[in-house]
Structure 1
Amino acid sequence: MSDVTRDVFDDKVTAWRQWQDAPWGRLRYTLAEHNIGRHLDGRRLRILDVAGGNGVEAVRYAAAGHQVTLVDYSPQMLASARSLAEATGVGNRVSVIESDVAKLGDVVEAGAYDLVLCHNLLPYVSDVESTLACVLAPLRPGGLASIIAANAYSEPLRVAIREMDLTAAYEALDATERYTQTFSTPVYPRTADEVSAALRRLGSGVLGHYGIRSVCDFIPDDQRKYDASFFAELERLELALTDRVPFLLTARLFHLIASAPAE
């Protein structure tokens, strides 16, 4: 179902890990976990991480005591996920499966998971609704889906403020394609409105809408974000803004928490 060949991700494991370790990557994981935590009750969960890559998120949840199944179609990402889980001491709580999301129903049990993570998948697929249908099918009744994607509304602001290229910012307003440097490939811009509408058509309700990195990506001085004191203040501000309008509307990433489809 992904429109991007798996070798794109196989070749970028190191670059992806560097991005994850950077301040903006660390914020992404902290904020996502914070937002999801608002909707959990402390129980141990069965979690499905769709397109989970090198396992950073899966391992975080496994370390908290949850049982996690990670599905991805990149062999190199999966090998990295296995190594990370073993090195962290949670190999017994992380299972990895090689599969495309379109074949998810062939490799995982329907209606069996408490939480499904769909993070950074939708920009790489042309058919959002069909992808979401595959992602939602493994949820048990009453389960939750967490969906994160780059926010198309943030791109014109980012280009205008960081790059001071007003022509490119204007062109980004209605662009149907953008480029991701980390994986060196074109992706589809998405909005929370678009994805929320697709979820409703599938019988799923949106329980929460959050923004991830409401200010970080608009601050031009990336080097200062590595300063521990500055980063601590940045993280505090980001946590305060994640559920506040209007900031969540133009955050670099949108984050939706959705219910399992009604039976």
Structure 2
Amino acid sequence: MSDPMRPRASLRTAVVRDVLREALDRRLKAVTAAEGTAGGAGRVLDVLDTGGGTGNFAVPVARLGHRVTVVDPSPNALFALERRAGEEGVADRVRGVQGDARGLFDVVERGGFDAVLCHGVLEYVDDPAEGVRNAVAALRPSGTLSVLAAGLGGAVLARALAGHFAEARQALGDPHGRWGEGDPVPRRFSPEQLTELVTGEGLTVEAVHGVRVFADLVPGALVDGEPGAVEALLRLEAAAAEVPAFRAVATQLHVLAERESG
């Protein structure tokens, strides 16, 4: 039986999907224990995916049995989400609403979710601290926050390996980690900057992962043309994800945090 949270070809998201699946399992056990519903008794989690787009994370989470609300400003993305959820047989567990991180509580309930995903959002919002603050405010008194954002070190390394040394130097010294006017990403973060945003809202950081440490640097021909290469690269990414030296040069950074009641 295939794992719904880890498709073989999904090199760019495999680490986060594995971590997220385990975190949701832990959260469900904590919720059911607190409510006295041994074994789950049909209980599922309410998950909010801010900026969830076409459902790259929302649909696999729904396939695990949870209810997912996706907030995204793009009607085209939400249309694709609806179609994808239908094709995957989870249309009854995925709801898409148009909105953004800044006006989050115009479209969803404050304090109404067991887990919140804030993936690919903080790079683009005007105020990342506000984005995190709203994500935390959407959590119930205890809950799980998953943040995924662009990493500074990965951009510097990628520009340097491509021979764009001046751009790599520019990104390294730029306050937002941008390599020039043509850079499509408005902002990047170091591991320290991203964790400070989360802890600043009173959450406890459980883990920090480097994502796409190697996947964006290895030529596709080396992966596609070698039997077993995809699985080997997946295992390498997983092994390197929590090693500080590799986190520092990852294309993306993932922070998993908990909000505890009391």
Compute the displacement of 1:195 (Å). Answer: 2.2
Compute the displacement of 1:245 (Å). Answer: 2.6
Q: Determine the C-alpha separation between the residues in 1 that align with 2:102 and 2:132.
A: 10
Whether contact under 8 Å (1:202, 1:261) holds in the other structure is no
Q: 1:61 to 1:38 in 2, by over 3 A?
A: closer
Which residue pairs with 1:164 in the alignment?
A: 163
* Letter of the structure 2 residue corresponding to residue 104 of structure 1: L
Q: Determine the C-alpha separation between the residues in 1 that align with 2:62 and 2:184.
A: 31
* Letter of the structure 2 residue corresponding to residue 46 of structure 1: D
Compute the displacement of 1:168 (Å). Answer: 2.2
Flag the structure with more relative contact order, 1 or 2, with Cα contacts below 8 A and sequence separation at least 6: 1
Q: Determine the C-alpha separation between the residues in 2 that align with 1:31 and 1:154.
A: 16
Deviates more, 1:29-38 or 1:119-128: 29-38
Which residue pairs with 1:250 in the alignment?
A: 249
Normalised to the residue count of structure 2, the TM-score between the two structures is: 0.83
Q: 1:56 to 1:151 in 2, by over 3 A?
A: same
Whether contact under 8 Å (2:53, 2:78) holds in the other structure is yes
**Which is higher, the Rg of structure 1 or of structure 2?**
2
Task: Spell out, residue by residue over 1:37-66, the C-alpha distance to the aligned partner (whole angstroms, 9 max, x if none).
Answer: 343336331110000001121111111111
Q: Determine the C-alpha separation between the residues in 2 that align with 1:145 and 1:206.
A: 9
Q: 1:215 to 1:178 in 2, by over 3 A?
A: same
Q: 1:65 to 1:38 in 2, by over 3 A?
A: closer
Q: Determine the C-alpha separation between the residues in 2 that align with 1:37 and 1:46.
A: 14
Task: Give unpaired runs (5+ residues) of structure 2.
Answer: 1-6, 29-43
Task: Spell out, residue by residue over 1:123-162, the C-alpha distance to the aligned partner (whole angstroms, 9 max, x if none).
Answer: 112311111111111101220110001101221111112x
Task: Spell out, residue by residue over 1:213-247, the C-alpha distance to the aligned partner (whole angstroms, 9 max, x if none).
Answer: 1222232x233333452212111111111112321
Deviates more, 1:35-44 or 1:58-67: 35-44
- Percent of residue pairs identical: 30
Aligned residues: 236
Task: Give unpaired runs (5+ residues) of structure 1.
Answer: 1-20
Which residue pairs with 2:45 in the alignment?
A: 45
Q: Determine the C-alpha separation between the residues in 2 that align with 1:80 and 1:145.
A: 25
Whether contact under 8 Å (1:179, 1:185) holds in the other structure is no
Q: Determine the C-alpha separation between the residues in 1 that align with 2:122 and 2:179.
A: 14
Counterpart of 2:16 (choices 20, 32, 42) is 32
Q: 1:88 to 1:39 in 2, by over 3 A?
A: closer
Compute the displacement of 1:106 (Å). Answer: 1.9
How is 1:111-122 mapped onto 2 (pairs within 5 angstroms)? 111-122=111-122
Normalised to the residue count of structure 1, the TM-score between the two structures is: 0.82
Compute the displacement of 1:261 (Å). Answer: 7.1
Q: Determine the C-alpha separation between the residues in 2 that align with 1:52 and 1:253.
A: 16
